[in-house]
Amino acid sequence: MAWFKRKDGGNGSAGAEDGGGLNIQPDKARAWFNQARTAADTRNYAYAITCYLNGIKFDPTSLEAHKSLYEIASLYIRGGGKPASGKEIRSVLGDKRPVDRLAAAELAWITDILNGHLNLRFVAEAADLGLSEVAYWAGEIGVNILARTRKPGKNALVQYLDIFEQIGAYEMAVKVGEVALAMDRSDAPLQARIRNLSAQATMDKGRYEANVGQEGSFRSSIRDAEAQKQLIEEDTFAAGTEAMTRRVQRARAEWEANPLDTAAIQRLGDLLAKSGDEKLESEGIEVFRRGYRDTSEYRFRMQAGDIKLLQARRRLRALRSKAEQSGDPADLARAEAGEKEILQAEAAEFRDRCEKYPTDLGLQFELGTRLYELGNFDEAIDALQRAQEDARHRARAQHLIGLCFLKQEWFDEAVDSLRLAVDTYEFKDDEQHLAMRYDLMCALEAHARENDDLAAAEEAGEHSKAIALKQLAFRDIRQKRDAIRQLIKDLKSRRT
């Protein structure tokens, strides 16, 4: 099967690139996409795939083309089509330009759709090209594939997290990170990173991060290929420090010319925040603070707060790294104190935002999470009970509510809340779901011991059995199962 029989006028190149950037040619891409649809209508799916890949080399930004290619590939596979061979994939590489690598990775994946490793490779290629919307769409498919595997790997989840962070899809990065964290609760750096990403997820509401993954969200303001190229260039600092400095200088000049222009404030503040230079970040804080003071737009106040928190977390990482290397109790104590200070600062920030936007249930969830980690259980429950009204956060909020009750030894309430979380959570038997069942098991065991409740002990035993059958190495499930079995025996003996 010849996946890439060229029909490009004999020059052997489907699209050109200038200095590593994308030179999009939508007219040529459209011709290939039209030919692909014609081939698909006649059920010539293999040739339709070839046409779509040719077109994507001319316009890799077309999310609709990637989606259509995915659908055609599904039909191809259902009809008995085989995964592309190594030789066929290499033929797509052509001149090995970035768009060639993207097309080759996409061919490998879409002809072997359930292969999570191949999906991850394609998503990484899309992200590296600045194709954020494409990377998000394919990444979401990949995460769902991973969630349905018997033992999803933590490393793969962290790689997806890296990519979602890279493209600014912070909410999805948090979701993936929490599943990875459920596999290893001792991973303190990952835990801190998730908190960082949670704060990022609240930034720039109204920009493309808030709507990433929705149809047209990344391209709604793009009118032609040149605008798309400019968006890609301005969303990355890969061009180097010199190019970044020029962009900052241009943005600063625009802002100084009209400091009340909200677009100029946003542009300069964004560039300064992304610089990675603490001095420039601090300038960004002042730009956003002044923007809030001058325009009363609350988003600028939030963004100033986000940069401050990012700087604090960076300092905390340095403290934690020093403590891990030295093992000095004083260093460990400083790192622990720094962790608590950041949690308190984040809680204060989200509390203020919740007062400003009381109907934003995502903010309520972020506040509740921080309050739980600080041990402010009653206030955390209040915020999380609001957050659970949002379907996106419902199961995780119910889980944390149950843990708040469990920490306070309100075992009946803990059991009810954790049972709701287990029943509500979508991906049954993934790591997060196992963590919920484990916590429910612990609550049932505690309730059974306090009340001599055999039925609760037996229900705890059923959960321990299910977890052990699914993943015997999960936490201390061997010891917990033995303890619960002994508890059941003891309670039964008391009744005889």
> DSSP labels for 440-470?
HHHHHHHHHHHHT-HHHHHHHHHHHHHHHHH
pLDDT at 22: 64
Predicted confidence (pLDDT) per residue in 20-51, tens digit: 456 788 888 988 998 888 888 878 888 889 99
Residue 434 region by backbone torsions, left for phi larger than 0, else alpha for psi between -120 and 50, else beta = alpha
Residue 42, exposed/middle/buried by CB under 10 A (0-12, 13-18, 19+)?
exposed
- Band of residue 193 on the pLDDT scale cut at 50, 70, 90: confident
Residue 414: what pLDDT? Answer: 97
CA distance 67 to 73: 10
Say if CB 101 and CB 131 are below 8 A apart: no
Contact 310, 281 (CB under 8 A): yes
Least confident of 21-35, 261-275, 290-304: 21-35
191 band by pLDDT with thresholds 50, 70 and 90? confident
Tell me how crowded residue 94 is: count the other CB atoms within 10 A of its CB.
Answer: 19
170-174, 230-234, 418-422, 463-467, range with the lowest pLDDT: 230-234
What does the domain layout of the chain look like in residue ranges?
A: 26-211, 237-357, 359-425, 427-496
For 401-450, the pLDDT digits (tens) are 999 999 999 999 999 999 999 999 877 777 788 899 999 999 999 999 99
DSSP state of 210: G
* Contact of 361 with 390, CB cutoff 8 Å: yes
**How much of the chain exceeds pLDDT 70, in percent?**
85
Check if 26-211 and 237-357 are the same fold: yes
Per-residue buried b or exposed e for 390-424, using 16+ beta carbons within 10 Å of the residue's own CB: eeebbbbbbbbbbbbbbeeebbebbbbbbbbbbeb
At 80-98, the pLDDT tens digits run 888 888 878 888 877 678 8
pLDDT band at 237 (very low <50, low <70, confident <90, very high): very low
Instruction: Give 359-425's CATH code, choosing from 1.25.40.10, 1.10.10.10, 3.90.740.10, 1.20.1250.20.
Output: 1.25.40.10
- Going from the C-alpha of 24 to that of each of 52, 65, 217, the distances in angstroms are 15, 14, 19
Amino acid in the structure at residue 187: D
Q: What is the pLDDT of residue 233?
A: 42
Instruction: Please name the fold of domain 237-357.
Output: 1.25.40
| Distance, CA of 400 to CA of 407 (rounded, Å) | 10
CATH number of 26-211: 1.25.40
Q: What is the pTM of this model?
A: 0.57
Q: How many Å apart are CA 98 and CA 186, to the nearest integer?
A: 38
Amino acid letter for position 253 = A
- Per-residue pLDDT, 96: 74
313-362 confidence digits (pLDDT tens): 888 888 888 888 888 999 899 989 998 999 999 999 999 999 998 998 98
The distance of Cα 357 from the centroid of its chain, to the nearest Å, equals: 23
Tell me, what amino acid is at 458? E
